[in-house]
């Protein structure tokens, strides 16, 4: 088979990422890093927890999936007629695993030896599902146990509660694992149907990095990939209102100190624009209240924050949230101070010197971030899921960002009427909920 190979080069480091459009329908991305002794492979599909409904164009039929289907499928794909595929990876000296996120499911392995044998195993097992009613049933209690553990985790719970406060209908909630009720609805048929719909090579990517060679990867791909028909299933997402559901959410759990999560909801972006806006939003959040910003110091001195405080940008196909999380006895005061600082920065302008320092820091992070087979592999997969050609766009985008961009970001992505404050308070007997 003949594959088209596109070479993408990072101007700063000289790193090369090869993009291969394989005739079987799969996009393959490779970074050869011969100085490293290990190698990674990630085989991912654009099917994650938010994929809850799809349409089959020929029949027009719409299929609804129970929450947690993508994660359940990830668990069950490892099981084959002759046992768990993990044992085969282990015999090759490879370590395999998988994860399900909101927008993707990724199967991966890492190894020092027998890379191409392990790659063949990865491609084969992800493409060929084997589900029986008995094995799907046996997994149910394991996943319910995983859910119980997640629900006991205050950070997980706070994040989910914040998403519930921000999104009306977009399926960022319930939890990636689903609910006890939805997990009980999932059957072998559900999993098979989902696999047929979304584990189509045209909807997937294979990323390889480390001590690997493109030609040998292509030989394995030629041998193991089952040519896929054109993608039939069309993911359907509900129309999400711009405003949040509520500005406040509260629950109580056994925690030692009040935890908070502040989320600013804004319009989603796609492709390179999303990457650019995510970088910009992260920089803007750090300008406002990152640990080099005066407001952080002020709140630290006032005892309103501690060293658990962090900022983040969480974005995907259909959502965009800027996050501020930490511990505080007065989360309302933190939110108020943050909103005041947003207004002040809009009026007074930004600290240009700090902006330059933060841009330089982000450049340093991006250079170091690609200096490892695992992180290079993840960066290539992220770029594919986000609709970007190569994992090297970050550095160029960072260099272009200006103070005017920050002002635009403040206006569009930090609106005080698009915020939800989620709080987890320590449980104390006799205290009623919904006081916030």
Partner 1 sequence: MPETMLGNGIRYTEIHDPKFRSCLLTLQFHIPRDRISAPVHALLPDVLTASSAEFPSVNAMTLQLESLYAADFIAKLSLCGDAAVIDFTASWLDDAYALNGEQITEPVLRLVTGALLHPNAENGAFRDPEFRICKQNLLDDIDCEQNDKRSYALRQAAALTFSGEPAAIPAHGFRPEAEQITASQAYAVWQEILRKAFIEIAAVTPAPKPQIAEILKARFSGLNRQPVPVRFEAPSPIRTEIRIESEIMPVGQTKLVLTYKYEHISREVMLMLCSILGWIADSLLFTNLRERCGLCYYCLLSHAAFKHTLFIDIGIDAANTDAVRKAVAEQIHALQAGDFTDDMMQKAILRYAFQAAAASDTISDLAMQQLLRLRRGDPRSPQEIADAMRKVTRADIAEAATQLRPDTVFVLRAEQEEAEPDDI
CA distance 427 to 431: 8
Q: SS3 of 165, please?
A: helix
**Out of 100, 111, 266, 418, which residue is the one contacting partner 1 (CB under 8 A)?**
111
372 binds partner 1 (CB under 8 A): yes
- CA-to-CA dists, residue 350 to 262, 297, 299, 346, 417, angstroms: 22, 17, 19, 8, 22
229 binds partner 1 (CB under 8 A): no
Count CB neighbours of 316 within 10 A. 21
Q: Which is nearer to partner 1, 6 or 368 (CB)?
A: 368
63 binds partner 1 (CB under 8 A): no
Q: Which is nearer to partner 1, 132 or 291 (CB)?
A: 291
Q: What is the 3-state secondary structure (H, E, C) of 389-423?
A: CCCCHHHHHHHHCCHHHHHHHHHHHCCHHHEEEEE
16 binds partner 1 (CB under 8 A): no
Give the interface segment with partner 1, choosing from 33-41, 189-197, 224-232, 411-419 (CB under 8 A): 33-41
- CA-to-CA dists, residue 297 to 291, 292, 304, angstroms: 7, 8, 10
Q: How far is the CB of 215 from partner 1 (least distance, A)?
A: 22
Q: Which is nearer to partner 1, 368 or 396 (CB)?
A: 368
**Out of 365, 396, 400, 402, which residue is the one contacting partner 1 (CB under 8 A)?**
365
Q: Which is nearer to partner 1, 403 or 415 (CB)?
A: 403
14 binds partner 1 (CB under 8 A): no
Residues of this chain, 403-422, that bind partner 1 according to CB under 8 A = none
Count CB neighbours of 310 within 10 A. 12
Residues of this chain, 71-110, that bind partner 1 according to CB under 8 A = 84, 86-87, 89-96, 110
Strand intervals (E) in 277-374: 310-316, 319-327
117 binds partner 1 (CB under 8 A): no
Q: Which is nearer to partner 1, 89 or 199 (CB)?
A: 89
**Out of 5, 56, 120, 180, which residue is the one contacting partner 1 (CB under 8 A)?**
180
Label the pairing between strands 204-210 and 27-32: parallel
Q: Which is nearer to partner 1, 204 or 305 (CB)?
A: 305
CA distance 39 to 219: 17
**Out of 6, 148, 169, 226, which residue is the one contacting partner 1 (CB under 8 A)?**
148
CA distance 163 to 373: 33
132 binds partner 1 (CB under 8 A): no
Q: Which is nearer to partner 1, 278 or 366 (CB)?
A: 366
Closest CA to 410 of 314, 292, 289: 289
């Amino acid at each position: 088979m003949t594959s088209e190979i596109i070479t993408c080069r990072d101007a700063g480091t000289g790193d090369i990422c090869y993009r291969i459009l394989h005739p079987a329908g799969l996009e393959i991305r490779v970074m050869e890093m011969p100085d490293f002794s290990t190698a990674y492979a990630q085989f991912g599909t654009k099917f994650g927890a938010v994929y809850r409904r799809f349409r089959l164009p020929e029949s027009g039929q719409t299929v609804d999936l129970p929450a947690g289907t993508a994660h359940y499928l990830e668990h069950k794909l490892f099981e084959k007629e002759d046992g768990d595929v993990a044992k085969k990876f282990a015999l090759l000296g490879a370590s395999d695993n998988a994860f399900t996120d909101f927008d993707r499911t990724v199967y991966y392995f890492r190894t020092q030896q027998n890379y191409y044998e392990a790659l063949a195993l990865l491609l084969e097992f992800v493409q060929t599902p084997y589900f029986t009613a008995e094995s799907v049933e046996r997994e149910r209690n394991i996943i319910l146990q995983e859910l119980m553990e997640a629900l006991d985790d205050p950070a997980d719970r706070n994040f989910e509660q914040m998403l519930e406060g921000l999104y009306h209908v977009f399926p960022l909630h319930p939890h990636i694992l689903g609910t006890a009720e939805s997990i009980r609805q999932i059957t072998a048929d559900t999993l098979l149907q989902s696999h047929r719909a979304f584990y189509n090579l045209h909807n997937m990517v294979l990323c390889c990095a480390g001590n690997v060679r493109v030609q040998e990867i292509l030989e394995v791909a030629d041998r193991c990939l089952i040519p896929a028909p054109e993608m039939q299933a069309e993911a359907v997402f509900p129309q999400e209102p711009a405003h949040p559901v509520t500005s406040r959410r509260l629950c109580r759990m056994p925690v030692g100190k009040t935890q908070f999560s502040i989320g600013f909801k804004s319009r989603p972006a796609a492709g390179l624009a999303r990457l650019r806006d995510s970088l910009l939003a992260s920089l803007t959040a750090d300008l406002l209240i990152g640990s080099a910003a005066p407001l952080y110091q002020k709140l630290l001195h006032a005892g309103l924050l501690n060293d658990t405080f962090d900022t983040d940008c969480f974005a995907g196909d259909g959502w965009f949230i800027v996050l501020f999380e930490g511990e505080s006895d007065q989360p309302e005061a933190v939110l108020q101070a943050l909103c005041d600082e947003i207004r002040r920065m809009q009026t007074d302008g930004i600290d240009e010197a700090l902006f330059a320092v933060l841009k330089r820091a982000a450049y340093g992070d991006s250079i170091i971030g690609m200096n490892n087979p695992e992180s290079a592999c993840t960066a290539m997969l992220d770029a594919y899921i986000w609709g970007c050609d190569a994992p090297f766009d970050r550095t160029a985008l960072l260099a272009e960002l200006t103070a005017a961009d920050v002002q635009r970001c403040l206006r569009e992505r930090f609106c005080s009427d698009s915020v939800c404050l989620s709080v987890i308070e320590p449980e104390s007997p006799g205290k009623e909920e919904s006081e916030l």
